[in-house]
Amino acid sequence: MITGATLLSLAAVAVVGFAVVTGPLMLAVRAGLRQHLSPRGIKRWQKPVAIGLGSGAVVATLVCATALGPKAAVTAAALILLTLLAGIDLAWRWLPFEWTLPLLGLGLLAAAVEDHLSVAIVGLAVGAGTLLALQLYFRLIRGVEALGTGDIWLTAGLGTLSGVPVILYILTLAAVTGLLGAAIARFRGGRQRYGVAFGAHLSLAYFIFLLF
């Protein structure tokens, strides 16, 4: 019989494997390599680097699941997926639904197994609801597209993992770092052609939450 802990560990490994196989890893690697290599160099190194990082990500999640338990495996899987999504968002201002949904599913499964599903659902509703309200406000009242739907789905996933009031802390910290980043870029004379990569700031805020 498969226990809840075993199911959760398998789900964490599956989420990482899904990210490795279906695109996020390859795209994040390409985004990183294009900062330092020519198109020819990217073509040469993208696949080997992706294979190496992908293997390491899956093995690291397995090790966490075996040595530290399902909660550590979920944390490892979430951090890996958030890192990949942050890289994609920084490069293309893009948070695909197909790759934010697994984070949400993993958070809900972890909450169900650990018997705090209601806390996760409230965190989801508060986090995603806050950004949805801001998106509608800017779109309908101000006439601008200030937040993408990908940011809302990512926040929903983070809300299931952290609950309330932590998701509000994450949103606040992400807003502060996003504003600081935009101010520094403007001060240095740079231009943010595609706006702020808010998904990357959300990921950073979650990392900071885990550290402190």
Residue 81 pLDDT = 96
Alpha-carbon separation of residue 95 from 81, 91, 149, 192 (angstroms):
11, 11, 8, 17
Check pLDDT > 90 for residue 42: yes
Mean pLDDT of 132-161: 92
Neighbours of 173 (CB within 10 A): 17
More confident residue, 149 or 193: 149
The answer to whether the CB of 73 falls within 8 A of the CB of 9 is yes
More confident residue, 141 or 172: 172
Question: What does pLDDT average to over the chain?
Answer: 93
Check pLDDT > 70 for residue 149: yes
Confidence label for 192 from pLDDT (cuts 50, 70 and 90): low
Stretch among 66-75, 145-154, 181-190, 194-203 having the lowest mean pLDDT: 181-190
The tens digit of pLDDT for each residue in 16-28 reads 999 999 989 999 9
Residue 196 pLDDT = 87
Mean pLDDT of 29-50: 94
Instruction: Please state the domain extents for the chain.
Output: 4-211
Q: What is the dihedral of CA 157, 160, 163, 169, to 10 degrees?
A: -10
Check pLDDT > 70 for residue 123: yes
The answer to whether the CB of 204 falls within 8 A of the CB of 177 is yes
The answer to whether the CB of 33 falls within 8 A of the CB of 49 is yes
Confidence label for 195 from pLDDT (cuts 50, 70 and 90): confident
Q: What is the dihedral of CA 62, 18, 208, 158, to 10 degrees?
A: -120
